[in-house]
């Protein structure tokens, strides 16, 4: 989507505020002993209360209001009653939704309770790389150069990236063009970010794996070499200067 009017910008601001505050409240709600289904149902109620509809349910028939990935899971984790969160677990919550014809997406990984397993450095690196990547984006920047930035920063910090996952265009649907905002350098991708375009930028920073494989459930993604992955995501509007971060209310950088 490209923003062509103040009405469109306000529409994107509203749905982005909804998904951002929902993610924030779900993060604050999460405690050891809860199931991922319990957290997902809480998020579903928050979306419904604000008049929004779950994007993964609406678009793909996903069996949950949100994607909640636990420990070794990278993304698209199915909320379940038998997935019980323990102290120190690494959890990722991804919230996307539709409201009045506009769509927005955001996500974040965090440690539940005390960091007894030492995941926090991975989480902080993912956050920091997302910040650097987003603030390097403006109209005319090559998409592959942002992938190179993410990959280079990950390596500098002793991590790798998931090479077959990345960000995407968004706005009038959950996944729009450009569909290949990867976390790595793809020299074949000559596309550039367009001014006033709306995109969801994501990091997938990994301790071991470099590709995501789908589990037998048809949804859950896990790494090809094991380890753990931290993901963080914002929906932004591209400008000639600093981008407009529509989902800033999720406070993943606070």
3-state SS, one letter per residue, for the chain = CECCCHHHHHHHHHHHHHHHHHHHHHHHHCCCCCEHHHHHHHHHHHHHHCCCEEHHHHHHCCCCCCEEEECCEEECCCCCCCCECCCCCEEEEEEEEEECCEEEEEEEEEECCCCCCCCHHHHHHHHHHHHHHHCCCCCCCEHHHHHHHHHHHHHHCCCEECCCCEEEECCCCCCEEEEEEECCCCCCCCCECCCCEEEEEEEEEECCCCCEEECCCCCCEEECCCCCEEEEEEEEECCCCCCEECCHHHCCCC
pLDDT tens-digit profile, the chain (254 residues) = 999 999 999 999 999 999 999 999 999 999 999 999 999 999 999 999 999 999 999 999 999 999 999 999 999 999 999 999 999 999 999 999 999 999 999 999 999 999 999 999 999 999 999 999 999 999 999 999 999 999 999 999 999 999 999 999 999 999 999 998 999 999 999 999 999 999 999 999 999 999 999 999 999 999 999 999 999 999 999 999 999 999 999 999 99
Q: What is the pLDDT of residue 46?
A: 98
Q: What is the pLDDT of residue 50?
A: 97
Q: What is the pLDDT of residue 106?
A: 98
Q: What is the pLDDT of residue 157?
A: 98
pTM for this entry: 0.97
């Amino acid at each position: 989507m490209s923003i062509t009017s103040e009405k469109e910008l306000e529409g994107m601001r509203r749905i982005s505020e909804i998904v951002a505050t929902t993610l924030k409240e779900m993060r604050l709600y999460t405690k050891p002993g809860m199931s991922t289904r319990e957290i997902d149902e809480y998020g579903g109620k928050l979306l419904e209360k604000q008049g929004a509809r779950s994007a993964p349910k609406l678009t793909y028939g996903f069996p949950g209001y949100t994607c909640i990935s636990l420990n070794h899971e990278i993304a698209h984790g199915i909320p379940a009653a038998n997935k019980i969160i323990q102290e120190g677990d690494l959890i990722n919550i991804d919230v996307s939704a539709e409201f009045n014809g506009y769509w927005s997406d955001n996500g974040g990984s965090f440690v539940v309770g005390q960091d007894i397993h030492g995941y926090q450095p991975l989480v902080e690196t993912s956050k920091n790389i997302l910040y650097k990547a987003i603030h390097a984006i403006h109209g005319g920047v090559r998409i592959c150069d942002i992938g190179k930035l993410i990959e280079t920063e990950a390596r500098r910090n002793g991590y790798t990236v998931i090479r077959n996952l990345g960000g995407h265009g968004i706005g009038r649907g959950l996944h729009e063009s450009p569909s290949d905002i990867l976390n790595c350098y793809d020299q074949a991708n000559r596309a550039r970010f367009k001014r006033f375009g709306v995109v969801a930028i994501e990091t997938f920073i990994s301790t071991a794996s470099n590709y995501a494989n789908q589990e037998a459930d048809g949804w859950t993604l896990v790494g090809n070499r094991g380890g753990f992955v931290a993901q963080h995501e914002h929906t932004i509007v591209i400008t000639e200067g600093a981008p407009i971060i529509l989902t800033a209310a999720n406070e993943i950088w606070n």
